[in-house]
Amino acid sequence: MKDLSNKKVLFIICGGISAYKSLETIRMFRKNNAEIKTILTKSAKEFVTPLSVASLTQGKVYDASTFWWFSSSRRRHFFRFS
């Protein structure tokens, strides 16, 4: 994989066996200098802990319930975070 300096990755981890594999993917992105923001769904927390994700990303782990809301048109919107 090429150098990912100055690249930003939003990594949303959902529940399932792939949640375990997400830790290896995060490790690979960090090894290649990417900046990673992570969001864990409620079901993802049954497979990986926020602490393990935070230690790999070296950043805050966000909870999916904090960022989603429904508008009157029933479309999902995402809060911007820095």
- Within the chain, strands assigned E span 8-13, 35-40, 61-63, 68-70, 76-78
- Write down the domain spans for the chain: 8-78
What are the start-end ranges of the H helices in 2-58?
A: 18-31, 50-57
Tens of pLDDT, residues 13-64: 998 889 999 999 999 999 999 999 999 988 999 999 999 999 999 998 988 7
- Asked whether the predicted pLDDT for residue 70 surpasses 60, the reply is no
Q: Which residues pair with 31 in a beta bridge?
A: none
Q: What whole-number distance in Å separates Cα of residue 44 and Cα of residue 47?
A: 5
Reported CATH class of domain 8-78? alpha beta
